[in-house]
Structure 1
Amino acid sequence: MQVWRFVVFTSFLLSGFAEGKVVKDTRWMAPDKRFVYLSKFAFKIGNGSFKYRIKLGTHTNSPALEKNVTLPLLIFLDNHWIEVDRLPACERSKKVMTTRQVIVQKDNEWSPWVTGVLHQSIRPHVWYFAFSDCQELLGPTSGPFPVMFESVMLQEDGSQFSYELLGTRFAAAMQALSYIVMMLVFLKRELELMRTQPLHPIIQVLNVAILSSAAGSLLNMTHLFFYAHNGTGLTLCDVLSEVLSMLSQMLVTTILLLIALGYTLRTGDLAKVRVGSAPALPVVATVCVGHLVLVAIGNHMADDSRFKFHSNEGAIGWTIVCIRIALYAIFLVACSNTYLASPASRLQAFLRTYTIASSLYFLAFPLLFIVTSIFAPYLRHKIMSNGVWLVQIASLSWLATLFLIPKSQYFSVSSLGHGLLPSFRSWVRGFSKSLE
């Protein structure tokens, strides 16, 4: 009965609920640069429609209009946008594909809606919308002033999801389902293992990583469900989904680094595991927290910016790539040191295999990030989100195989395969000692 309820609930989430995207935001127009980017939308093949309205925000720098002013809503095609973005502000209209006239109201009320239809015949296209006052019809101002806008976009079939988001609800549901199945399979194996010995703390950390991935996928599915309903989704669910996904990745990274540094291989005392002269876990934990902060900031700092098509695009993404490469360098040095300090041939054989497999994980995000940028903007979100999911589920499965199968190579050379294992409480005490 529970399975049947889950299937019904999932089918409801995937059903054709009234899809919609509404963008409400504010841009700031500089007095010497009377051009502001508003938003973008990717239309699939066919006739896509849009409507916009604009008003001046209330601010000390806002121009005081004595009468209504008609200004252009500029619409650019993705083929030209990179070139447009490099041109001086008031020369960008030379590359415009089409325009609509917006009547800005003198009383700071919303302008009448302006509408239009954009046609795609060969492939999907991203259309960029901007607002311009290069003739300074709004009058002089002493500083930047707010321009508020509201837009509604509609695909030909009635969907208001931008092309890069089409199909993401189904993908999110499948990702969540895969993590839930993984949790159930591993839980069964852990219960069998607990009959003979307590769970090692490193297995418990792996459990938290799997749980974080599952919770993040469920929150993402919830966000997309509400997004289809109200056009904006649930911001809290969206942010938490990204943070939990990154937390899972950071926990996997922590596990890989600790093992490379010799934890469970050469020592079971976490306080003795060090990066150079510094205790290992605080160093790794600091990097992880930095990752999470970057994701939380980057997820909505430029949510509808002109360059962003997935959550890690832009400067935030490049920063994460640099951090991952730095962590990979630390990992390689740690593996080398542990290898040289390990006389046992079985342990050295394991470390060789472990280094190769872990390298794939460390390099996956940087490579995926770079490869994704090669593709058309409207494909990047799907490639990035599905790529991260595949890498994460593969790494979690691999680690679970190492930790939960007594016949695994790691199990035979580590403290997991020996009698007395530390409790999670003692593991926490080891962390506390490493901070001293």
Structure 2
Amino acid sequence: MRVLGFWLVVLCVWGRRLSGSFSVSPTEKDSRVQYLGKFACNIGECKYHVRAGLKSPWRVLQKAARSMTSAQVMDTLSRTNSTARVVVRVVLDEEWETSHRMSACRRAELGRGRTTLTVPLDGSLGPWSTNSFRQSHRPHFWYFFAEDCRNSITSQLAKLGGVSAQDFAAYDINYELEMLQVDGGHLSFEYSGMLKWSVVQLFVYSGLVAWMFWKQMKQMKHQRFQLHLMTQILNVSCLSTLAASVLNILNLVKVNSTGSTFPLLEGLADAAHTLAHIAVSSCLILVALGVTLNAPQRLPGAVLKLLAALIAAAHIVVVLVDKYTSDSRYKYYGSEGPVGWVLVGFRLALWAIFLLCWQQTRADPRTPSSTERFLRRIVLPASAYFLTFPAIIALTPLVRPYLRHAFIYHSTFLVQTVAIIWLSELFLSKGEYFQVSQMSQSFLPVTTPPSPHPAQTP
């Protein structure tokens, strides 16, 4: 059976210091070539360091040489300093797709760089090997893969155990791969400038939070210090984006210096970004349902909150799954591939829910004409918000691979910022929404008017 086991012990999405292992089956030629990672290099010379080692060699040898006891296997490996050879090759992005039409071991012919690694057979990692590649016209993605097409490892183990190389089952190779940018940093080119833009995002949303707080304080003076439901949800969106910016900055600082990420920080940042988008979507759907408007409400508040929580949880799970596979060889940016289209499906489903609720509220004969006019005016900007993400995903393949992440990042940041500013003006000013919502109702206590006929005293 073909062994395709491949996993990363440390998944570095922004940084380029990878450590993990891959499986090789001596009887399956395609498994002798394994993808390690990719790196976008700027114009100039980029370097990489790599080393590898055989995982649990005593188990590999004992399964093949069944006549040997565990003690004999351990003694054989400890007495010898045998090593094998594994080759790491680098392929340019323009040749990567062509290489998939070839057999696995023929891909080595396309490699622009070759690094031969010494693999100790005692379970330890071998010495670091250093190489570099250069480009002069524009940035490129470079793909790294390891190959043992000559079965060097099993050949050496077969000599030690006195067995045939064909007797060996699949084995695992541990590796560490560090890729360095032209300036010595660890960030792949598609993430260049991310730290600067994360700081800009932090300042923008800090200003938005301060502005919204000021407007809310003015509004609460007239509402007996009651915070409006829509304002609460909008605060969640703004604060979530602010928190995501802080987490991204902390992660990027570590990545640029060490090449590895904090997986927890990265996961929390993605969850916060997702929560911010869901909060805005929830605001629009609740308005379409007539919540807080002078219109009949069809669903109780508890059901609405549960629905919003389920949608948010589903989004976050899909985003985290997408992040786990973000270093796949076919992906240049987050939300690419099948998981990305699942996210697009979520956004389109939210848009369909919004339109359905909007139509039902307008069609209800109990809905006032002023509320109906308000709903007609918000349907276009609200639909634009729901459809921008699918449009961005559809347009991204037209952009060069090393610019796609920046295109998505800046586009979604702009859309989210505009949406929050628009909704803040909508909910925090005495405009049309104020007139057709429950906010326009008096918050003063109702007093009983005096009777026109005072009671007669006896």
Task: Name the TM tier (shorter chain).
Answer: 0.7 to 0.9
- The answer to whether the 8 A contact 2:347-2:386 is kept is yes
8 Å CA contact 2:53–2:121 kept in 1: the answer is: no
> In structure 2, do the counterparts of structure 1 residues 49 and 373 end up closer, same or farther at CA, with 3 Å as the change threshold?
same
Q: Give the Cα–Cα distance (whole angstroms) in 2 for the partners of residues 268 and 208 of structure 1.
A: 26
What is the SS of the residue equivalent to 1:103? strand
Q: Summarize the alignment of residues 14-413 of structure 1 with structure 2, pairs less than 5 Å apart.
A: 21-31=16-26, 32=28, 33-58=31-56, 62=60, 67-139=82-154, 140=166, 143-197=169-223, 198-267=226-295, 271-272=299-300, 279-299=303-323, 301-341=324-364, 344-407=368-431, 409-413=432-436
How far has the Cα of 1:59 moved from its partner?
7.1
8 Å Cα contact 1:78/1:126 also seen in 2? yes
RMSD value over aligned CA atoms?
Answer: 2.5
- Separation of aligned partners in 2, 1:392 and 1:420: 32
1:36 aligned counterpart, secondary structure = strand
**Distance in 2 separating the partners of 1:246 and 1:51:** 35
Q: Distance in 1 between matches of 2:350 and 2:58?
A: 48
**Whole-Å separation in 2 of the counterparts to 1:266 and 1:88:** 67
Amino acid at match of 1:313: E
Helix, strand or coil at the partner of 2:100 = helix
Deviation at 1:308, TM superposition (A): 2.9
1:123 deviates by: 0.5
Tell me how far apart the structure 1 counterparts of residues 170 and 418 of structure 2 sit (CA, whole Å).
Answer: 49
TM, length-normalised to structure 2: 0.80
Q: Residue 341 and residue 167 in structure 1: after superposition, are their counterparts in 2 closer, same or farther (change >3 A)?
A: same
| Cα offsets for 1:377-416 (capped at 9, x unmatched) | 2112211122111111111111111100012x22211222
> For residues 259 and 30 of structure 1, do their structure 2 counterparts lie closer, same or farther at Cα, with a shift above 3 Å needed?
farther
Is the 1:21–1:231 Cα contact (8 Å) retained in structure 2? Answer: yes
| Contact 1:20–1:229 under 8 Å retained in 2 | no
Deviates more, 1:137-146 or 1:114-123: 137-146
Q: Does structure 2 conserve the Cα–Cα contact (< 8 Å) formed by 1:61 and 1:143? A: no
Query: Quick one: structure 1 residues 101 and 373, their matched pair in 2 at CA, closer, same or farther if it must change by over 3 Å?
Result: same
Q: Shift of residue 170 of structure 1?
A: 0.5
- The match for 2:163 is none
Aligned to 1:9: none
Cα displacement string for residues 128-163 of structure 1 (whole angstroms, at most 9, x for unaligned residues) = 000112232322476543222112222233223210
Pairwise CA distance, 1:28: 2.9
The CA distance in 1 between the partners of 2:59 and 2:380, in whole Å, is: 59
Aligned-partner residue type, residue 378 of structure 1: Y
Q: Secondary structure at the match of 1:138?
A: helix
SS across alignment from 1:373:
helix
Contact 1:74 1:129 in 2 (8 A): yes
Question: What is the one-letter code of the residue matched to 1:108?
Answer: G
Between stretches 251-260 and 264-273, larger displacement belongs to: 264-273
Bigger Cα displacement from structure 2, 252-261 vs 346-355: 346-355
Compute the displacement of 1:324 (Å).
1.0
Instruction: Classify the secondary structure of the residue corresponding to 1:50.
Output: strand
SS in 1 for 2:153: coil
The change in CA–CA distance for 1:392 and 1:250 in structure 2 (over 3 A counts) is: same
TM-superposed deviation, 1:349? 2.4
CA distance in 1, matches of 2:170, 2:295: 60
1:428 equivalent in structure 2: none
State which structure, 1 or 2, has the greater radius of gyration over its C-alpha atoms: 2
SS at structure 1 position matched to 2:183: coil
Structure 2 vs 1, CA of residues 176 and 360 (structure 1 numbering), >3 Å: closer, same or farther? same
Contact 1:61 1:142 in 2 (8 A): no
Q: Check the 8 A contact 2:32/2:148 in 1, yes or no.
A: yes
Distance apart, 1:79 and its partner CA? 0.5
- From the superposition, tell whether residues 250 and 144 of structure 1 become closer, same or farther in structure 2 (CA, over 3 Å): farther
Describe the shift of the 1:59–1:355 C-alpha distance in structure 2 as closer, same or farther (beyond 3 A): farther
Q: Is the 8 A contact 1:261 1:273 kept in 2?
A: no
Q: TM-score, normalised by structure 1?
A: 0.84
Amino acid at match of 2:192: L
Give the distance between the partners of 1:58 and 1:356, measured in 2 at CA: 61
1: CA distance between counterparts of 2:296 and 2:232? 15
User: Which stretch of structure 1 is more off in the superposition, 383-392 or 167-176?
Assistant: 383-392
Q: Residue in 2 aligned with 1:432?
A: none
TM-fit CA distance, 1:295: 1.6
Q: How much has 1:178 moved relative to structure 2?
A: 0.7
Q: Structure 1 residue 234: deviation in Å?
A: 2.0
Report the alpha carbon displacement of residue 209 of structure 1 after superposing the two structures with TM. Answer: 1.3
Report the alpha carbon displacement of residue 216 of structure 1 after superposing the two structures with TM.
Answer: 0.9
Name the CA shift for 1:283/1:129 in 2 (closer, same or farther; >3 Å).
Answer: same
The 8 Å contact of residues 63 and 138 in structure 1, kept in 2 or not, is answered as: no
State the AA in 2 paired with 1:311: G
Match of residue 419 from structure 1: 442
List gaps (5 residues or longer) in structure 1: 1-18, 422-436
* Unaligned residue ranges in structure 2 (runs of 5+): 1-13, 63-76, 155-165, 445-458
User: Which stretch of structure 1 is more off in the superposition, 186-195 or 90-99?
Assistant: 90-99
C-alpha separation between the residues in 2 aligned to 1:326 and 1:374? 25
Change (3 A) 1:377 1:58: farther
Q: Secondary structure at the match of 2:435?
A: helix
Q: Return the letter of the residue paired with 1:334.
A: C
Cα 1:296–1:132 change in 2 (3 A) is same
Measured in 2, the distance between the counterparts of 1:50 and 1:63 equals: 32
CA distance in 2, matches of 1:362, 1:144: 48
Query: Does structure 2 retain, via aligned residues, the 8 Å contact 1:36–1:130?
Result: yes
